Chains A and B, each alone.
Chain A
């Protein structure tokens, strides 16, 4: 395995070990996601509206809020005890950190979704007779990929700034608008079985994800300077 990816993998494994040893943050994010599911499901029972129309928006609002909590953790844990400096020295190439943190964030996000998405599906009682499950899973995966990539990049930019916790979601949201729009429309298309109508949005998700996965290779050297 090339040295670059070996280091990415080592940091990724270290982060997973660290995260699962103290599951308080993961659990609190999961509890938050579950609460969102209940709040949305109760609220939607009060109105007469087609679940296939409302489910995608509710799903991505839930994922977005969980992502804000989950993604901030990846670099914050390096700030404790000043470990970020030691990690930068050991990794040599700053973009190694991006890819390790991106993979970690994506893993955490997908783990949270494994619980929250089925819960939301059940509680909102989605009529999924015509649903294309693979297209749905593809949309969720690509949306999560983009969230993790942009979130990791912005987290790297803001982590050393004062007020990072406030800045992060403020900067994150406008950059994510095309991704969220595409993810919502693809999810909706998957639910009603009309995937041809939204295939263009699926391509946009792929391009968006590739862009924000490759861009940090050029940018990350400057991101963590300071």
Chain B
């Protein structure tokens, strides 16, 4: 059996100016976990995800990846935001190739595999600027998976996706269970219906609810 990665978040705090965004957030996750984080606007969800991605420094507490302090270069992080995080003047294929080369996971087969997964293979030569928002979001999913990630962070991943796109994303959740820890922020937990996941409710920077939903 493959070795499981462990993410430990202990008493995590984040202060921006005078405002305490995160107040002693603690949880653990291991490979195979899908953790769905909900909460009202301003609860600190995106801040939490950005700290876990290594994009934002924490103010206190610990974030441990396999026992070591987490940093930007701790491993392969796939990050899907409500923004597509793509280059509008590059083609669909060029975007994936660029990120593939950056991650060192470059391969024409891998690009084709991911574009077929998200239903964009036929659009591979199109500029990202001419794609619809939903198609850009599909490409953003492929871009994040190009990293072959061990930690996948989804910030409102269902944004702009149509029914097919939502189904593709649900497949991604299932397919990456055996190799990744997955954390997803959502305002629409109904999209996770039928999936096994743990639930973390945030409000005012604190964990106010924990749960477990079995498919």
Tell whether A80 pairs with B88 under 8 Å between CB atoms, given A10-B102, A89-B72, A92-B73.
Answer: yes
B55 touches A88 (CB 8 A): yes
A86 touches B79 (CB 8 A): yes
Tell whether A81 pairs with B147 under 8 Å between CB atoms, given A92-B72, A93-B73.
Answer: no
Q: How far is the CB of A88 from chain B (nearest CB, A)?
A: 6
Q: Which of B28-36, B93-101, B160-168, B184-192 contacts A (4 or more CB under 8 A)?
A: B93-101
> Within the complex, which residue of A17, A86, A91 is in contact with B94, where a contact is CB–CB below 8 Å?
A17
Q: Enumerate A7-47 residues with CB–CB distance to B below 8 Å.
A: 7, 10-11, 14, 17-18, 21-22
Answer whether residue B175 sits at the interface, using C-beta atoms and an 8 A cutoff: no
Answer whether residue A82 sits at the interface, using C-beta atoms and an 8 A cutoff: yes
Residues 73-92 of chain A, each 1 if its beta carbon lies under 8 Å from chain B, else 0: 00001001111011111111
**Interface residues of A toward B: which range?**
20 to 34
B102 touches A83 (CB 8 A): no
> Within the complex, which residue of B53, B56, B73, B84 is in contact with A81, where a contact is CB–CB below 8 Å?
B84
Tell whether A85 pairs with B53 under 8 Å between CB atoms, given A14-B87, A22-B89, A92-B73.
Answer: yes
A89 touches B53 (CB 8 A): yes
Answer whether residue A225 sits at the interface, using C-beta atoms and an 8 A cutoff: yes
Which B residues lie within 8 Å of A11 (CB)?
Answer: 102
B85 touches A86 (CB 8 A): yes
Which A residues lie within 8 Å of B53 (CB)?
Answer: 85, 89
Bound-complex Cα distance A83 to B90 (A): 12
Main SS class of interface, A: helix
Q: How far is the CB of B142 from chain A (nearest CB, A)?
A: 12
Bound-complex Cα distance A131 to B94 (A): 47
> Within the complex, which residue of A7, A17, A81, A226 is in contact with B102, where a contact is CB–CB below 8 Å?
A7
Bound-complex Cα distance A83 to B84 (A): 8
Tell me the nearest residue of chain A to B80, going by C-beta. A86
Tell whether A81 pairs with B88 under 8 Å between CB atoms, given A10-B101, A90-B102.
Answer: yes
Which A residues lie within 8 Å of B101 (CB)?
Answer: 10
Tell whether A88 pairs with B85 under 8 Å between CB atoms, given A17-B90, A225-B56.
Answer: no
A81 touches B77 (CB 8 A): no
Q: 22 A-B pairs, CB-CB below 8 angstroms?
A: A7-B102, A10-B98, A10-B101, A14-B87, A14-B90, A21-B89, A22-B89, A77-B87, A80-B88, A81-B86, A82-B84, A83-B87, A85-B50, A85-B53, A87-B102, A88-B72, A89-B77, A89-B79, A90-B102, A90-B103, A92-B72, A226-B56
